[in-house]
Structures are given as structure tokens and as C-alpha cells.
Amino acid sequence: INQVTKRVEQTTIRRTIHERSLMAGFIKLTSADGFVFPAWVAQPAGKPLGAVVVLQEIFGVNAHIRAVTEGYAEKGYLAVAPSTFHRVKQGVEIGYTPDDIAVGIALKAAVEGLPAPGVLPDIQAAIDYAAQTLGTSGKVGVVGYCWGGLLTWRAACLLKGISAAVPYYGGGMTTPLEVARQPQCPVLCHFGEQDHAIPLDGVHAFAKAQPGVEVQIYPAQHGFNCDHRGSYDATAATLARERTLAFFARHLA
């Protein structure tokens, strides 16, 4: 019993230290059209190195995305994860079962079906919040996963105030419409060569059409960065994260 109590006390101490060094929680942001939506914000322990806007998958700003956001804060960045589902449904936080995936796909379709510019003003509001919080000395990057990867690519091409962008396996990025876009900042893309949703020939065509974009391909499946999914690949995820952090260090410093 004493050993169990000791382990619980040690866990509590570690959690308290973590909470003191890293503050995180939901805030409300307002888009240019007046729409109010939530965003998960994680503050680093010291002065931010810059800021990273984290764009969700089709599962909402769930526990995984919040953990990813906090992971960037632990590396010294102010990190902001806006809810990009909020315009069609509030409080979305789902898992990874087949039923959850079907729900997420339907919500994504609903957002993609919104009149232009859709959810982009919400992403711009998150970028602006990050920039204003940093002040004149900081730069903002964007990273996104799955659908968030597609939104990251669009943000790099269409939005203001971004110094670097990193889409992870952005579904739809290899379509002619998306390939024709031109990024306004440095971009690093991560793809999986075993991705059932993004054929490899499309990835190669994207890389050829976008010679200024750094494209990295891993022997992994779609969603390889998410440790809540069966497709998680620790080796690919670790390497992609190392490359992403190095990319942000170069362009957000």
C-alpha cells in the first residue's frame, strides 16, 4: 500500500510541476465576420520561440490534438488549435472507430460545403491571435493533420501572417485545384507511401508541380502521427516531428 501511495504522490507531483510550467485551456476567438468559436491554447513555460497554429483532423479538437498542441508548447511555442468544426457543430470530440470516422467525414463535408471562404477566416483569426500575443518579435507557423493538413496547405496559399507551414498527409492536397495553388511561405509536407487515401503517384505529381515545397515520404499509412490510431507508426512519427521542429526552428526564429 505504501508503494502504491508513493507512486500516486510522485505522479501528482509530476503533474503539478507540468501544470505550473505549461498552462493550457480553451479560449474564445472571433472571426472577421463576427463568428465566435473556441480554440485550445497552450502556453510555454518561458518566453515563446514563436507560435504554432495546430489544425485538427476530422475528429475535432480531441484529446490527441490537445496533446499535440501541448507538445509544441513544451518545445517553447505558443500553440493554438482552433475548432474548425464549430460552424457546423459545437463541441466535437470523437474517437477513431468506424462510426466515429463516418461522423468525422460527414462533418468535414459539411464544412467544405460552406460558402467561400468557409472556415478560413477562423484559421486567420487563430493566426492573428497568435501574432498579437507574440508581439512584433514573433513569427507564426501552421501545422495540420489529415483534413487539417489540407487546411494548412490552403492557409499557406491564401492567408496572411504565416512564416512556415507543415501539412501532414493532407487529403485532397494532390487534386488539380489544390496543386495549382501557390504557397506564400515555406512549406514542408509529410506523406505516407502506404496511404490508402492519398495515392503515391499523386504525391509525386504534387512534388513535381511544387518544386519549392519540401516533400517527405515515409513507409507508413495515413494517420501515422496519431498514437491513438492503429495506423500509428512511431518511427515515422518521430522522424516527421524532428523534421517539423527543425523546419519551424529555421523559419520561426
Query: 72 pairs with which residues across the strands?
Result: none
50-55 vs 77-82, strand pairing mode: parallel
Number of H helices, E strands in the chain: 8, 8
Closest CA to 200 of 226, 182, 221: 221
Question: Beta strands of 31-159 (E only): which ranges?
Answer: 36-43, 50-55, 77-82, 140-145
Distance (Å, rounded) from C-alpha 253 to C-alpha 238? 22
Exactly one of 64, 86, 122, 146 is catalytic; name it: 146
Residue with cell 460552424: 87
For residue 233, indicate whether it is catalytic.
no
Q: Which amino acid is at 190?
A: H
Distance (Å, rounded) from C-alpha 45 to C-alpha 77? 9
Exactly one of 195, 226, 233, 251 is catalytic; name it: 195
Packing angle of the helix pair 120-134, 147-158 (nearest 10 deg): 70
> In a 3-state reduction of DSSP, which class is residue 221?
coil
Exactly one of 64, 86, 222, 251 is catalytic; name it: 222
For residue 195, indicate whether it is catalytic.
yes
Rg of the chain over Cα atoms, rounded to whole angstroms, equals: 18
Closest CA to 83 of 117, 50, 53, 43: 53
Q: Which amino acid is at 173?
A: M
Distance (Å, rounded) from C-alpha 129 to C-alpha 135? 10
Which residues are catalytically annotated? 146, 195, 222
